Amino acid sequence: MSEVKLSDNERMKRESNFIRGTIEQDLQDPLTGGFNGDNYQLIRIHGMYQQDDRDIRNERTAQKLEPLHNVMLRARLPGGIITPKQWLVIDEFAEESTSYGSIRLTTRQTFQYHGVLKRDIKHMHQTLNSTGIDSIATAGDVNRNVLCTSNPVESELHQEAYEWAKKISEHLLPKTRAYLEIWLDGERLDTPDEEPILGPTYLPRKFKTAVVIPPQNDVDVHANDLSFVAIAEQGKLIGFNVLVGGGLAMTHGDTTTYPRKATDFGFIPLSHTLAFAEAVVTTQRDMGDRLNRKNAKTKYTLERVGVEVFKAEVEKRAGLKFAEVRPYEFTSRGDSFGWVAGIDGKHHLTLFIENGRILDYPGKLLKTGMREIAKIHQGDFRLTANQNLIVAGVAEADKAKIEQLARDYGLLEDTVSEQRKNSMACVSLPTCPLAMAESERVLPAYVTELEGLLAKHNIDDDTIIFRVTGCPNGCGRAMLAEVGLVGKAPGRYNLHLGGNREGTRIPRMYKENITDRDIMAELDALIGRWAKEREAKEGFGDFVIRAGVIAPVIDSARDFYAV
């Protein structure tokens, strides 16, 4: 009988000496700005992706130069909370040691640096470490940055949920000393590394976790392998409903891949949170597909072995059975912009950051403005999973000063439309190596066109959850939008319709591989119908399903590709 051939990533992880590889040797190689062999993949578990500037790739090739290799770093910030002091350190490094000078807020509720050259990578890690931040396990086959609802109003409940997000993140982190040794010059010990939760070859594929506080679904629970839905009584957290197997990535042309909503396994008491988190991760570790990486995510494991089999194994490993699902409801998933007052007497200012890109633009000095706010702010900053930023914990006496700075630097504008606030894109070109079409760079213009269509049909007081992603890997969460564009080629996208405002339904492909001009023409006609035929408070995604424009996705494993 022939031996079953695992994917090459499994060999790579097995031979890596707990993700060390030869990264240190690569750092000393002056002949290339990139990483060689397995190290190209291994640096991901350290929180980095190797990229290059695709806008100048052809020019450099013509000059017989290698691509302008650099890395993107994604920080680990469970729940997205940082201090003003940390922000100032983050800002300074971005200004002095990145090619783009920007700080990019991401849909994983953290920040990214883009354009860090190999000579500056170690300095980057040590700079972040000096202020208490690392990037271990924000990419690769591990549990990634743990999200948490950015709810500044119910302060006590949010604090409890946030603390659990931090505990879950720490509990599921890789235990290897490789990060400490390579980047922080940590002591080499003779004792061998162990990975009691992740195992010596880590997980079959990336794994995403979130903590969410209903009725806000700002972390998009159905985009995550594991979500903990907070259940509270009298303002106190008593436990979680556990949702497993969500995920949005797919592969063009491969119908064995699809987005999937998470399955609600049931309620657990607070004291068993870490046990169940570990049990879900280790069950996926042992049952997940290590042959075909395209089918290695938790969502495919559930479909392959069966939900009840997977659930029973989790209960066995956790030593406790799930209780009945506690009732909860999601009513929104956007951020609440402007000032809100918390129950603790503090005030919180949510700033809209288009595309999450904090940079100084002509007439809008966002990066400078954030720096000036950080110099005087006494509370904290909260990054949201929608790429925005909350200046949280502001005393009454400091409100006017914070608001004036935000207005002076273009961080707070009264003219931003609700449609723009409800639109989102991944980074895509020029840095992402997977990008097939533009995303971040075209979103502002696409939203302007969409605003024009809403005004044309006299419904510019309404909004559509609109998202663009440059490839089918799901970073922009287009597969939970009312209108989602998924890149196929420059200027061409698959148009998906039929998600809902609450983020609990996956949209179906309506048109394949069409130009952005054709997309806007299709939306013009459909928005016109929505304006005339909609029922009271009916969202666009609900309308196109009720009107028979497109069929709802009921069970994506079986009907996502149905005509």
Residues 445 and 314 in one domain: no
User: Residue 149: which pLDDT band, with cuts at 50, 70 and 90?
Assistant: very high
Residues 191 and 53 in one domain: yes
Tokens encoding 211: 């903590």
Asked, for residue 154, whether it belongs to a domain, the answer is yes
Asked, for residue 412, whether it belongs to a domain, the answer is no
Phi, psi of 268 (to 5 degrees): -130, 150
- Summarize pLDDT for 529-545 with one digit per residue, the tens: 999 999 999 999 999 99
Average pLDDT over residues 539-560: 97
Strands of 323-472, DSSP E: 338-341, 347-351, 357-358, 360-361, 364-365, 380-383, 389-394, 423-425, 466-469
Calculated CA dihedral for residues 40, 46, 47, 53, nearest 10 degrees = -30
Average pLDDT over residues 263-269: 98
- In a 13 Å sphere around the CA of 88, the CA atoms on its Cβ side amount to 10
What's the longest Cα–Cα distance across the chain? 76
Average pLDDT over residues 160-176: 97
Q: What residues are annotated to the active site?
A: 74, 144, 206, 208, 426, 432, 471, 475
- Residue 255 pLDDT more than 80? yes
Q: Whose structure tokens read 């303002």?
A: 235
Asked, for residue 382, whether it belongs to a domain, the answer is no
User: Residue 231: which pLDDT band, with cuts at 50, 70 and 90?
Assistant: very high
Q: Which residue, of 318, 347, 368, is where some domain finishes?
A: 318
Residues 311 and 184 in one domain: yes
Instruction: Report how far residue 48's alpha carbon sits from residue 526's, in angstroms, rounded to the nearest whole number.
Output: 41
For residue 154, the model assigns a pLDDT of: 75
Q: Which residue, of 259, 294, 318, is where some domain finishes?
A: 318
Q: Any alpha helices (H) in 4-80, and if so which ranges?
A: 8-14, 23-27, 39-42, 57-62
CA-based radius of gyration for the chain: 23
Q: Any alpha helices (H) in 394-515, and if so which ranges?
A: 399-408, 418-421, 443-456
- Residue 418 pLDDT more than 50? yes
Q: Any alpha helices (H) in 434-539, and if so which ranges?
A: 443-456, 516-533
Q: Which residue, of 262, 288, 318, is where some domain finishes?
A: 318
Q: Are 436 and 510 within 8 A, CB to CB?
A: no
For residue 344, the model assigns a pLDDT of: 81
Domain that holds residue 292: 8-318
Instruction: Report how far residue 84's alpha carbon sits from residue 81's, in angstroms, rounded to the nearest whole number.
Output: 10
**Long-range contact list for 11-14, CB < 8 A, 24+ apart?**
12/38, 12/41, 12/42, 13/141, 13/200, 13/201, 13/202, 14/200, 14/201
* 380 beta partners: 392
User: Residue 3: which pLDDT band, with cuts at 50, 70 and 90?
Assistant: low
Give the mean pLDDT of the chain.
96
- Residue 2 pLDDT more than 80? no
Per residue, what are the HEC states of 110-133? CEEEEEECHHHHHHHHHHHHHCCC
Asked, for residue 463, whether it belongs to a domain, the answer is yes
Asked, for residue 533, whether it belongs to a domain, the answer is yes
- Summarize pLDDT for 15-25 with one digit per residue, the tens: 999 999 999 99
Average pLDDT over residues 39-58: 96
Nearest to 215 by CA among 195, 231, 191, 238: 231
- Residue 153 pLDDT more than 80? no
- Summarize pLDDT for 337-384 with one digit per residue, the tens: 999 998 888 999 999 999 999 999 999 999 999 999 999 999 999 999
Asked, for residue 122, whether it belongs to a domain, the answer is yes
- In a 13 Å sphere around the CA of 208, the CA atoms on its Cβ side amount to 24
Q: Are 411 and 367 within 8 A, CB to CB?
A: no
User: What is the percent of the chain where pLDDT is above 90?
Assistant: 95
CATH number at residue 202: 3.30.413.10
The amino acid that residue 441 corresponds to is R
Q: How many domains, the chain?
A: 2
Asked, for residue 491, whether it belongs to a domain, the answer is yes
Asked, for residue 273, whether it belongs to a domain, the answer is yes
Environment class of 364 (CB within 10 Å of its CB; exposed 0-12, middle 13-18, buried 19+)? middle
Tokens encoding 386: 């929608």
* 51 beta partners: 70
Least reliable range by pLDDT among 306-315, 331-340, 405-414, 458-467: 331-340
Average pLDDT over residues 187-191: 91
Tokens encoding 351: 């700033």
For residue 1, the model assigns a pLDDT of: 44
For residue 100, the model assigns a pLDDT of: 95
Nearest to 242 by CA among 285, 275, 205: 275
Nearest to 563 by CA among 524, 512, 523, 520: 512
Q: Distances in Å between the alpha carbon of 446 and those of 32, 109, 439, 484?
A: 38, 24, 10, 12
* 484 beta partners: 467, 496
- Residue 155 pLDDT more than 90? no
CA 18-166-10 angle, 5° bins: 25
pTM of the predicted model as reported, rounded to 2 decimal places:
0.96
- Summarize pLDDT for 275-305 with one digit per residue, the tens: 999 999 999 999 999 999 999 999 999 999 9
- Higher-pLDDT residue of 327 and 563 is 327
